[in-house]
Amino acid sequence: MADPRCKRIFAALSEYLDGDLPVKNCRELERHLKGCQPCLAYLENLKTTIQACRKYHVKQVPRPSALVRSALLQAVRKK
């Protein structure tokens, strides 16, 4: 990323994707993306990464131990 504009854009990509970037900066970023294929591809792949994280779930979960179950049930009864 030799271009200083690419560097500036790179630092702001998460804020842009989270909707936290001020409108003025969004416009600058979008203008840049129109003419910079590598930055656009970088952004798209970052978006895929974030969405994959959101869709990631741990598959196997053991049942709660007897200790956990009795501690929580006792706490509820005491209330």
Partner 1 sequence: MTRMNAQVEQALEILKSGGPESMDRAIESLQGAVYAFGMKVCGHPEDAEDTAQETLVRLARSLRDFPDARALAVWLYKVAKTQCLMSRRKSKFAPAQMLSLDALMPDHQVGSPAAPKSWAITPEEVVLHRESRERLERAVLALPKPYRLVLILRDMEQLDTREVAEVMEISEDTVKMRLHRARVFVRNELEKYFSKKERARS
**Given the rule CB under 8 A, which residues bind partner 1?**
1-2, 7, 10-11, 13-15, 18, 20, 36-38, 40-42, 44-46, 48-58, 61-65, 67-69, 71-79
State how far the Cα of 40 lies from the Cα of 45, in Å rounded to an integer.
9
CB of 65 to partner 1, least distance (A): 6
Residue 38: which residues within 8 A CB-CB, separation 6 or more?
6
- Shortest gap between Cβ of 21 and partner 1 (angstroms)? 11
Give the residue with the Cβ less far from partner 1, 30 or 44: 44
CA–CA distance, 43 with 13 (Å, rounded to integer):
7
Q: Give the shortest CB-52-to-partner 1 separation in angstroms.
A: 4
Q: How far apart are CA 35 and CA 39, in angstroms?
A: 9
